[in-house]
């Protein structure tokens, strides 16, 4: 296989490096740049899995490296982005601004928990760490980019808003609610995947069954957040591309979380 077997791990390291530089920019107060670097990390996170499957370069070290990179880029980085924004803008006691840091241990537990679960192969149980990162990171970016917007004012002045979104993200990451992934399509169509590099390992329950019974349902679950995100992006494009991108990502991640939580909850209820 030669050098090709190192390509997926190299891409994973680019994910990690993006997260590290994102943390540096967040510490400097440049949340917009940190947000862009988080999105770059997400792109590398997708590409390393695709490279591993395409080159058949699966390895135990690759899976562990992917989890470590995800903890930095999608656990630590978005938590620090929101932490720094709250430190700068929150009107209230300083200790309150440390609440976003709870995302880091929850992300670590989520990654470790499902890295050791070999019974789940086609879907997620609980919110994937990258999805939680998109939600938290985009909220922090919107606070930074829209300094007089309603989201900024709500997060800066309310004692409920920030703890609520942190609790929701942490609770869903550690939950057992079935959530769809792109690999869910292979289960529905009857094909099998031969491996994974996802740090938040693919899951479908202890029985290994896919909770979403039809391809149409899966398409709807993914298409609705995508369409909503694009619509918001185009609507706010006049404010600047980064402003529109933050709004689009926030809308996409919020819709993904809501739809999957509802659909997964229904699927879990029907199995009881």
pLDDT given for residue 1 in this prediction: 53
More confident residue, 32 or 266: 32
Q: What is the pLDDT of residues 166-222, one digit of tens each?
A: 999 999 999 888 887 766 555 555 544 444 444 434 333 334 445 555 677 777 788
Report the mean per-residue pLDDT for the chain: 84
pLDDT given for residue 204 in this prediction: 36
Q: Cβ(132)–Cβ(79) under 8 Å?
A: no
**What gap in Å lies between CA 81 and CA 167, rounded to an integer?**
16
Q: Cβ(68)–Cβ(108) under 8 Å?
A: no
pLDDT given for residue 37 in this prediction: 97
Confidence of residue 265 (pLDDT cuts 50, 70, 90): confident
Q: What is the pLDDT of residues 237-263, one digit of tens each?
A: 988 999 999 999 999 999 999 998 888
Confidence of residue 157 (pLDDT cuts 50, 70, 90): confident
Q: Cβ(145)–Cβ(243) under 8 Å?
A: yes
Three-class secondary structure assignment of the chain: CHHHHHHHHHHHHHHHHHHHHHHHHHHCCCHHHHHHHHHHHHHHHHHHHHHHHHHCCCCHHHHHHHHHHHHHHHHHHHHHHHHHHHHHHCCCCHHHHHHHHHHHHHHHHHHHHHHCCCCCCCCEECCCHHHHHHHHHHHHHHHHHCCCCHHHHHHHHCCCHHHHHHHHHHHHHCCCCEECCCCHHHHHCCCCCCCCCCCCCCCCCCCCCCCCCCHHHHHHHHHHHHHHHHHHHHHCHHHCHHHHHHHHHHHHHHHHHHHHHHHHHHHHHHHC
Which residues fall within 8 angstroms of residue 124, CB to CB, at 6 or more apart?
178, 179, 180, 181, 200, 202, 203
More confident residue, 50 or 218: 50
pLDDT given for residue 178 in this prediction: 83
Q: Cβ(174)–Cβ(110) under 8 Å?
A: yes
pLDDT given for residue 61 in this prediction: 84
pLDDT given for residue 119 in this prediction: 58
More confident residue, 32 or 121: 32
Q: What is the mean pLDDT of residues 58-76?
A: 89
Chain centroid to Cα 14, Å, comes to 17
**What gap in Å lies between CA 266 and CA 263, rounded to an integer?**
5
Q: Cβ(48)–Cβ(8) under 8 Å?
A: yes
More confident residue, 38 or 192: 38
% of the chain with per-residue pLDDT over 90: 51
């Amino acid at each position: 296989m030669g050098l090709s077997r190192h390509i997926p791990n190299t891409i994973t390291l680019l994910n990690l490096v993006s997260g590290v530089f994102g943390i540096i920019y967040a510490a400097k107060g440049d949340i917009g740049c940190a947000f862009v670097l988080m999105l770059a990390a997400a792109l590398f996170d997708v590409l390393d899995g695709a490279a591993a499957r395409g080159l058949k370069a699966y390895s135990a070290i690759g899976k562990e490296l992917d989890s470590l990179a995800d903890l930095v880029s999608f656990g630590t980085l978005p938590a620090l982005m929101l932490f720094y924004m709250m430190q700068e803008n929150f009107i209230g006691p300083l200790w309150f601004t440390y609440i976003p840091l709870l995302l880091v241990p929850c992300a670590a537990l989520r990654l470790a928990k499902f890295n050791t679960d070999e019974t789940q192969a086609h879907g997620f149980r609980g919110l994937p760490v990258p999805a939680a990162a998109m939600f938290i990171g985009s909220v922090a970016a919107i606070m930074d980019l829209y300094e007089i917007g309603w989201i900024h004012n709500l997060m800066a002045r309310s004692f409920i808003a920030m703890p609520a979104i942190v609790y929701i993200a942490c609770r869903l990451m550690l939950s057992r609610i079935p959530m769809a992934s792109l690999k869910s399509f292979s289960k529905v169509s009857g094909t099998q995947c031969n491996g994974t590099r996802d740090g938040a390992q693919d899951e479908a329950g202890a029985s290994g069954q896919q909770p979403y019974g039809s391809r149409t349902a899966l398409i709807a679950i993914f298409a609705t957040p995508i369409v909503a995100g694009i619509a918001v992006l185009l609507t706010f494009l006049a404010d600047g591309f980064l402003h529109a991108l933050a709004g689009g990502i926030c809308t996409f991640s919020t819709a993904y979380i809501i739809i999957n939580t509802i659909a997964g909850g229904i699927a879990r209820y029907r199995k009881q």
